[in-house]
Structure 1
């Protein structure tokens, strides 16, 4: 790829993805709601052009239409925090913005339109997720992602716009600050306190953020339009084993409150996605293990403290 246009450059995964592209000599045109939220290192890069615009008015963005964009990545999404995931109006606005993004991609004649889904589309999956199975979301965020996928699939056929959907895994790494289980565990242990959880027997897959960004680049380069790609490490363990590893890195003697919280549901679920198609079509395999990624992440939290 030579030039990519995208939304979501100020987000956790999006900012790492911009860095991945720039580090591989790919020019980036980033459509952002607020330029002040862009990382300084990205804003200063001459190969990244920032265009401030509202996602509801993408067609008014002052984009260079003479450029042949190899891909349009739609990573922008509002309301991913726990308190916003069931905000119906906000999630509906995300669906609308996604449709606007594909319409704009078609207008620019982009070679591919790539959008990000989530493992939250398949919450009640008891085994390894096949991304072509029936989705089972458990909140409005997951439901909105499922709906967006179908809207974009239909629209891509109507517009003749090559389209790829990606299922993004549980992602961790530096600069993620919301209260997900990885961040919560690291913060709590660094503060010398005991984190508390449910039984943590669910099978899980975590992928370090730079690996997610690399997988997205590989999909843009050699992913096949019409397909849905699951992204992950391909390594699945009970959730508690990841927590044990974090404790080992911070303080092997720290107390963990596993099983002290009541189970939220009697239904077993997992967060592991099949990545066979990703490997077959793009050659992607992770380079950074969970252990190495956690060490990097813990050091970042320490520096922030």
Structure 2
């Protein structure tokens, strides 16, 4: 790849992706609402464009006419906090994703790559639930966006990949996911509360995930959806106990102190064999090793 577009450029994942891309000599058009104190500032290979991405179709003239190898769509509002459960916010995310795909087609981008999530699989548990958590709305929105993007891209003839991300962790991650929540609680000498934590789960270190993301942009994909995980799923409580052990705060990990949310994951949901067959081995960081890196960085 020589030149790409990345949305959500100020976010935890996209900003790290841009850094990796430019280290490979790839030019990036970075799109975000604001770039104040952005890590992309001052990078000669990055052109920052400020815009409301929900209106990207009306502001397409701001994007330079050029030959783009890939369009990485990472922008998504409401990944944590109250907006995660807000259906209006999540509907706008779906609309934004559709508009980005259309813009990619108009610009003749070779491939559209969209950030999905393992939370999409929670939708399979929805019929069996009497109540749903706020995170379910987020998963439903991502799942809906995936179906609409697949339909649209096949309709307009746009090569695309839906990248279904596992649970990501790494330095500077303040998204409130399980790892960042647990570390923050333990660093503050607070108890970290969890449900039974008896289900299979998976975490992937950010550098491993981004290695796969870049390779998917470079290669000829055989499928339209790939799960990107560590390839070594475990029972959730084992991960939590590892964090407690590394921080010497095992007593603050309170497993079983919250009710089961009813969402069921199975080991096959974390299968990475299709992806490995396509791009080769990409995950190298063991969970304990990754946690040590995060703690040393903090």
1:242–1:232 Cα change, 3 Å = same
Q: Distance in 2 between matches of 1:88 and 1:196?
A: 27
Q: What's the CA shift string for 1:160-182, capped at 9, x where partnerless? A: 11111110110011111132221
Q: Any residues of structure 2 matched to 1:26-41 within 5 Å, and which?
A: 26-36=26-36, 38-39=38-39
**In the superposition, relative to structure 1, how do residues 77 and 102 fare at CA in structure 2: closer, same or farther (>3 Å)?**
same
The one of 272, 285, 289 aligned to 1:288: 285
Answer whether contact 2:9 2:15 (CA < 8 A) is retained: yes
Name the CA distance, whole Å, in 2 between partners of 1:258 and 1:288.
25
Q: Once the two structures are superposed, what CA deviation does each residue of 1:52-105 show, in whole Å capped at 9, x if it has no partner?
A: 11112223241221x210001111111110422221111111111111101110
Q: Does 1:7 align with 2:28?
A: no
Q: Could you tell me which runs of 5 or more consecutive residues in structure 1 were left unpaired when the two chains were aligned.
A: 127-136
Q: Does 1:181 align with 2:190?
A: no
Is residue 2:16 matched to residue 1:16? yes
1:90-129 deviations in whole A, cap 9, x for unaligned?
A: 1111111111101110111011011111101102669xxx
Q: 1:228 aligns with which of 225, 228, 242?
A: 225
Root mean square deviation, CA, Å: 2.0
Look up the SS of the partner of 1:103 in the other structure: helix
Q: 1:131 matched to which residue of 2? A: none
Aligned to 2:86: 87
| Pair 1:207 & 2:179 matched | no
Structure 1 segments, 4+ long, off by >6 Å, are: none
Q: Does structure 2 retain, via aligned residues, the 8 Å contact 1:55–1:97?
A: yes
Q: How does 1:1-305 map to 2 (within 5 A)?
A: 1-36=1-36, 38-39=38-39, 42-59=40-57, 60-61=59-60, 62-65=62-65, 67-123=66-122, 139-224=136-221, 226-251=223-248, 254-265=251-262, 268-270=264-266, 272-301=269-298
Distance (Å, rounded) in 1 between the aligned partners of 2:72 and 2:99: 13
Q: Say whether the 8 Å CA contact 2:35–2:48 is kept in structure 1.
A: yes
**TM-score using structure 1 length:** 0.88
Structure 2 unaligned segments of length 5 or more: list them. Answer: 126-133
Alignment CA distance shift 1:276-1:49 (3 Å): same
Query: Which residue matches 2:128?
Result: none
Deviation at 1:252, TM superposition (A): 5.6
Inter-partner Cα distance in structure 1 for 2:15 and 2:215 = 17
Change (3 A) 1:153 1:124: closer
Between 1:140-149 and 1:189-198, the stretch displaced more is 189-198
Q: Secondary structure at the match of 2:44?
A: coil
Greater shift, 48-57 or 231-240, is seen at 48-57
Residues matched between the structures, number: 287
CA shift, 1:38, in A, is 2.4
Contact 2:84 2:135 in 1 (8 A): no
TM-score, length-scaled by structure 2: 0.90
Q: Which residue of 2 aligns with 1:133?
A: none
CA distance in 1, matches of 2:217, 2:239: 30
